[in-house]
Structure 1
Amino acid sequence: MHQTRLRITRILCMIMITALMVPLFSGCASKGNSDADKGQTAQPDTQQQEEKVEEKDPVTLKFPIWSTITEDLFTKLDLVNEYKKDHPNVTIELELLKDTEYENTLKIRNAANELPDIMPLKSAWLVNFKDNILPLDDLEAAKNNLFAADFKVNDQILGVPESQFNEFIWYHKSVFQEYGIEIPKTWEEFVNAAKKIKDGGKYIPIAMGGKDAWPDYPFNEFMPSLVAGDGDYWSAMATKDEPFAKGQPFYDAYVKIKELYDAKVMGPDPLGVGFDQSKLMFGSKQAAMIALGQWFGSDLKSMTDVDINDIGAFLLPVRDSADEPFNTVSMVDTFYTIPKTSKHPDEAKEFLNWFFSNAWYPKYMSEAGLQSTIKDVKIDLGTMFNGAFDVSNLKYVLNKGGNEDYKKIESTIKFDVKKMGQDMMAGKDFDKMMQDMNNSWKNARSKLK
């Protein structure tokens, strides 16, 4: 009897334990199913996110450029595909326009409401397109730029400058050594160095592509600002009736330029030679010097017959005495703007932020041999520039394109300093040229009042 009761007790206990365990196992099973369900739902969420990225609408950003040098660099560094790595839905469509027709082409497209999405401009053109481009004050690339705020129009940043560079006289070191010429520190020393090379009869002292007009810009365009010590000298000229009179910086600068041209140190026919030919003349050592911007360094590197180790550069001296400030042009060039008519302004802004980021900008500037416009980004310029900045009293003159009054006068009288340089090389009467310019300028300025 006792054993029977004990057996019944054990059975009851087993039943109770089983009853207690069932909910526990059910709970575990339920939890396991829940976790499995969560895993199953997580996967579709991830897939949906990926699909959203893949399904992002394709965008094409139209991006014109005016320089074959820039085109070559973009191709070499593979700009289009580099950007696509992080922005697979965006295609950068590059278009090379002829440099001499670039601004007019954009004006025509603007009239047809067909401006691109990213529009590089020269600083002087910002005023011309000010009503057609977006303010970029809030753009990260603009905030980090050293010079963007210096070129505000109507107190707004309209463009982000790509590069900073100086103007140089490029020279063959071996030619200077052959003639015992030291790096010139004054204008007189520079002219005398060119004359000494001319007297030697072996080399053209200075290669000049005067046929194309624009290659005379280091002299005819920049020297008035250097003599004035004012990078915004064009705007200052707009406040004067006769800026071409004796004693004015423009006149004094052009007297120096006339001295150089009259010395016939640019070959027998500087007006019969275009830029490409003058570049080859310098590269092949037919010419001892050539006056061009820092950008020319990348051109030299691409020329197969150039001995880079024989190439040096020095800043053009315009001062009369070593005791005076050594004014040198500091240029900021290629302002990236976004037209108001762009169909993809947000994508264009995102591209500009990427362009000026560490993902692209430092390697691009290094390859181009240009200086950075971005804070805390330094570029190694290479051995060609060794000693180039070793001058006393060095002063950078930040070149600007002139204010609206200047642009109106320039347009009215078709003021073209590069054409004036051609006329000077051709031997046109200098004093008459200056007087005619004063008359035209004064008349145009009177209409501003």
Structure 2
Amino acid sequence: MMKSTRLALLAATMLGATGMAMAQDAELTIESWRNDDLTIWQEKLIPAFEAKHPGIKVTFAPSAPTEYNAVLNSKLDAGTAGDLITCRPFDASLSLYEKGHLTDLKDLENMSNFSDVAKAAWSTDDGSATFCVPMASVIHGFIYNADAFEELGIEPPKTNEEFYAVLEKIKEDGTYIPMAMGAKDQWEAATMGYTNIGPNYWKGEEGRLALISGEQKLTDEQWVKPLGEIAKWAPYLGDGFEAQAYPDSQNLFTLGRAAIFPAGSWEIAIFNDQADFKLGAFPPPVQNAGDECYISDHTDIGIGMNAKTENAEAARTFLNWVGSAEFASLYANSLPGFFSLSSETVEMEDPLAREFVSWRENCKSTIRPAHQILSRGTPNLWNEMWNVSANVLRGAQAPEDGAKQLQDGLAGWYEPQQ
């Protein structure tokens, strides 16, 4: 009897240990297009997670950025994709959810750490499901050569009037090109031009949502005026800016030949590495002193769970950690310029990144207006904004005509604008 009892206890102990191992031990693979931050995942993020969850092993397995969508879709269709899927914002990820490839994560505990604006890029149109945990956004503004500003006795501008006074003073001095931006690649005219300064005119989310509902049109004054502003930039962009590519603009600035760079915060790490002068940043100037300010704080990257993963419990544990304050701080400081979307306070170590993110304290955040819903048809509104912004910048199209082109294109397929 005693022997039978001991055997039963031993069997129960072994079974319990096996059950625990089965519950804890899992291997997760992350699919991503961000192959440039492989070492950060390997050396900082994954070790921090595994230290707290020793039964879960994580592998970061990125694809080439230009091949990611095709590679990921092929793997998902074949049932060979990783457990965790890095999510591009809006329609690309929404399509994956609608096809059943991503799981609704709305009930994840740490999803409560994100605002509706932060989650919008990875939620259904009606907000009933959120299928990726927000990881980071990029903020738009202007990066400047602080040494040049000091040399010329210039302070960062706060209003439009001050902005043009600064550009004029730099131009008159002649030492520097006032601002580095080209029109050749088009996207930067829309991204760092029109939708950088535009939120101060259409009042951020108020205008963006009104465009989606059809209450506002792209030919309304608040949408035309920022096109008019970037048309005024041409005299300050240097000779030949019309044929200047994005890398050319970067080089002009980092080599110290231009004083200001209309920027996305992703430039921070690049400019810190390449520029041998002190850097500063200022937000898009408001129209008049005392006006409420708005910034393009654009959702850039999230992460979700493969609906067919065999490690759902471990994957949810990892995703909940991604929603934590620990991950927010680690990620934002490992990749300065990619800012946490969490409501948790994140102390930034890089001074330029700290400047960018400080604008959230006084300005209202919004996302690029063409990215949710409004670029699903033909013509694609975001691509049209590239074209129109570049044309207006180089003087090939009047702002009013450009706005009409945008509105006519959108109304051609989007019912609320008809």
User: What range is the shorter-chain TM-score in?
Assistant: 0.7 to 0.9
Give the deviation of 1:203 after TM superposition: 1.9
2:339–2:357 Cα contact (<8 Å) kept: no
Aligned counterpart, 2:163: 190
Correspondence for 1:174 = 147
Q: Is the 8 A contact 2:137 2:300 kept in 1?
A: yes
Identity %: 16
Q: 1:406 to 1:117 in 2, by over 3 A?
A: same
Matched residue, 2:62: 95
CA distance in 2, matches of 1:88, 1:224: 48
1:420 partner amino acid: V
Task: After TM superposition, give the deviation of residue 289 of structure 1 in Å.
Answer: 1.6
Q: Does the CA-based 8 Å contact 1:221-1:418 persist in structure 2?
A: no
State whether structure 2 residue 245 is matched by structure 1 residue 273: yes
Q: How many Å apart are 1:412 and its aligned residue?
A: 1.6
TM-score normalised by length of structure 2? 0.79
Pairing partner for 1:419 from 346, 369, 387: 387
Q: CA deviation at 1:176?
A: 0.8
Deviates more, 1:284-293 or 1:249-258: 284-293
Give the aligned partner of residue 404 of structure 2. 435
Partner of 2:320: 353
Determine which of 257, 276, 283 is the counterpart of 1:306: 276
Q: Aligned partners of 1:248, 1:67: CA distance in 2, in Å? A: 42
CA positional deviation for 1:230: 2.7
CA distance in 1, matches of 2:215, 2:290: 32
Rounded to whole Å, the distance in 2 between the matches of 1:343 and 1:95 is 20
Shift in Å, 1:334: 1.2
| Contact residue 224 and residue 233 of structure 1 kept, 8 A | no
SS in 2 for 1:221: helix
What secondary structure sits across from 1:413 in the alignment? coil
Please give the alpha-carbon distance, in whole angstroms, between the structure 2 residues aligned to 1:374 and 1:388.
16
Tell whether the 8 Å contact from 1:71 to 1:96 is kept in structure 2 after alignment. no
Q: Counterparts of 2:343 and 2:365 in 1: how far apart (Å)?
A: 19
Aligned match for 1:445, one of 399, 410, 414: 414
Partner residue in 1 for 2:106:
137
Structure 2 stretches lacking a partner, 5+ long:
none
2:137–2:298 CA contact under 8 A, matched in 1: yes
Change in 2 beyond 3 A, CA 1:360/1:327: closer
CA distance in 1, matches of 2:113, 2:417: 37
Deviations 1:31-69 (A, max 9, x none): xx99xx97997799479837963997763423213463x
Q: Deviations over 1:221-273 (max 9, x none)?
A: 3433331103263442244498232x43221111111111x324255335432
Give the whole-Å Cα distance in 2 for the aligned partners of 1:337 and 1:386.
28
How far is the alpha carbon of 1:315 from its aligned partner?
A: 0.7
Tell me what 2:218 maps to.
Answer: 244
Q: TM-score, normalised by structure 1?
A: 0.74
Q: Which amino acid aligns with 2:407?
A: N
Aligned: 1:124 with 2:94? no
Q: Read off the aligned partner of 2:199 and give its amino acid letter.
A: S
Structure number, greater radius of gyration: 1
Letter in 1 for 2:295: T
Q: Equivalents in 2 of 1:209, 1:102: separation in Å?
A: 28
Question: Which residue pairs with 1:320 in the alignment?
Answer: 287
Which residue of the partner structure matches residue 331 of structure 2? 364
CA RMSD of the aligned region, Å? 3.9
Q: How many residues align?
A: 402
Letter in 2 for 1:321: N
- Residue 340 of structure 1 aligns with which residue? 307
